[in-house]
Amino acid sequence: MALEIERKFLVLDDSYKHEAFSSSHIQQGYICSDRGRTVRIRIRDEHAFITIKGPSLDGGLSRYEFEQEIPLDDARKLMTLCEPGVIDKTRWLVRSGEHTFEVDEFHGDNAPLVMAEVELKTRSEEPKMPHFIGKEVTGDRRYYNSQLRRHPYSQWTETVQ
């Protein structure tokens, strides 16, 4: 099991699309999304994964994560067992310095939300921020995918920019 260290940010504009070196379509559902642990099924283009995540540590900066690729047909069947609500998004990959930012453009009930994540090797690492990065939302549970499934962005009465 690996320790995932990442920071999350809101995105200011769509300039990331012109800077991206790759994009993919992602759909994900949650078999379990209890506080402190999640079991997720993700279909990314023609690949599928099961991911187990532990509770957030360090104010949401890190948590334990196990991920395993699984057959696509199995993932499609497991998606039928998931809790209601599916996350649907396009992920854009943008290099900035020595890091790759994953920019998620949400569709459906979570549109027009766009967030960027960057994985770090250490908690104290400071990545070079691309110009499209806005407010940091690391640790704000409202922006966790498992929460967006339950409380879609389009239904929020107050948004943070």
Annotated catalytic residue 16: no
Catalytic choice (16, 30, 144, 153): 30
* d(C-alpha 161, C-alpha 151), whole Å: 18
* d(C-alpha 77, C-alpha 59), whole Å: 34
Is the C-alpha dihedral spanning 128, 114, 155, 79 positive or negative? Answer: negative
Q: Is 3 exposed, middle or buried (0-12, 13-18, 19+ CB in 10 A)?
A: exposed
List the alpha helices (DSSP H) in the chain.
Answer: 16-19, 72-79, 145-150
- Tokens for 139? 């640790």
Task: Decide if 160 contacts 135 (C-beta within 8 A).
Answer: yes
- Tokens for 19? 């800077």
Active site residues: 30
